[in-house]
Amino acid sequence: MATPLEKARRDPESTKARILQSARRVFGYYGYHGTTTRMIAQETGIDISTLHYHWGDKKDLYEAAIIDITKDLKQKLIAVEKEIRGLPLAERMAIAIDRMTDYLFEHPEISNLILLRYISKTRYEGNLDFKVTEFTADIARSMGLITDKKTLSTRVSMEVWAVMNSIHTFISGEEFYRSITRDSHEEYAALVKETLMFIHIPAFTAREARQT
């Protein structure tokens, strides 16, 4: 039994899937309350009632968008993990940062929606019980901080969270930051990678050096 979301992910040309794509972008840009169903309908090029026909009410569509971006992000993380497996720590982190920033710059709404969920609250009680824990464990394993999921301490997940959020804030903050520096997107993206590697790699390699 396929959920509506799974059907939409399989057929990206369908109206249902196009609504979801628009929803990701608009929700990511303006946040939940800053987005109206009319905005999403207009972005998709359809009537509001068509939107409600496919996705139910606004809250349902929002939650579908959240789950959708989570799946995309997880998929990407698994791909990156495959690529860096076995490499030395510094190299592993450098490649992971490079790939993830590239990917998130192409899909900034992922970073936007994730950060918005951390920071801001909707006025409706959301019933999305996120599996952030196992999600974090995936990254921790990928970074070589733990060997299996059972040993994930709060301290380690905190470190993983710091690295991920550092990337997300740079992606989400591009428009704001570039409005000050007047850099091009390419300059900004290069600067982001440099800075992320400069800050995050030394901490983890230094600890590895201490431990061996």
3-state SS, residue 124: coil
Q: Pick from 20, 96, 116, 140: which binds a copy of itself (CB under 8 A)?
A: 116
- φ/ψ of 128, rounded to 5, equals -100, 95
Rule CB under 8 A: say whether 184 interacts with a copy of itself: no
CB 117 within 8 A of CB 28: no
Rule CB under 7 A: say whether 49 interacts with DNA: yes
Dihedral (CA of 17, 19, 21, 23) sign: negative
Rule CB under 7 A: say whether 36 interacts with DNA: yes
Of 61-69, 71-79, 95-103, 191-199, which segment contacts a copy of itself by CB under 8 A?
191-199
Quote the tokens at residue 42. Answer: 């207009």
* Cα of 179 vs its chain's centroid, Å: 23
Of 3-11, 83-91, 94-102, 127-135, which segment contacts a copy of itself by CB under 8 A?
127-135
- Nearest approach, Cβ of 173 to a copy of itself (angstroms)? 4
Quick one: the chain helix, strand, coil %, rounded to 5?
75, 0, 25
Quote the tokens at residue 7. Answer: 């059907």
Rule CB under 7 A: say whether 15 interacts with DNA: yes
- φ/ψ of 123, rounded to 5, equals -80, -5
C-beta of 89 vs 191, nearer to a copy of itself: 191
Rule CB under 7 A: say whether 47 interacts with DNA: yes
Rule CB under 7 A: say whether 31 interacts with DNA: no
Rule CB under 7 A: say whether 37 interacts with DNA: yes
Quote the tokens at residue 72. Answer: 């995309």
Residue 184 to residue 188: CA distance in whole angstroms: 6
Interacting residues with a copy of itself (CB under 8 A): 29-34, 112, 115-123, 130, 132-133, 154-155, 157-159, 161-163, 165-166, 168-170, 172-173, 175-177, 180-181, 183, 191-192, 194-196, 198-203, 206-207
Interacting residues with DNA (CB under 7 A): 15, 35-38, 45-50, 52-54, 56-59, 123
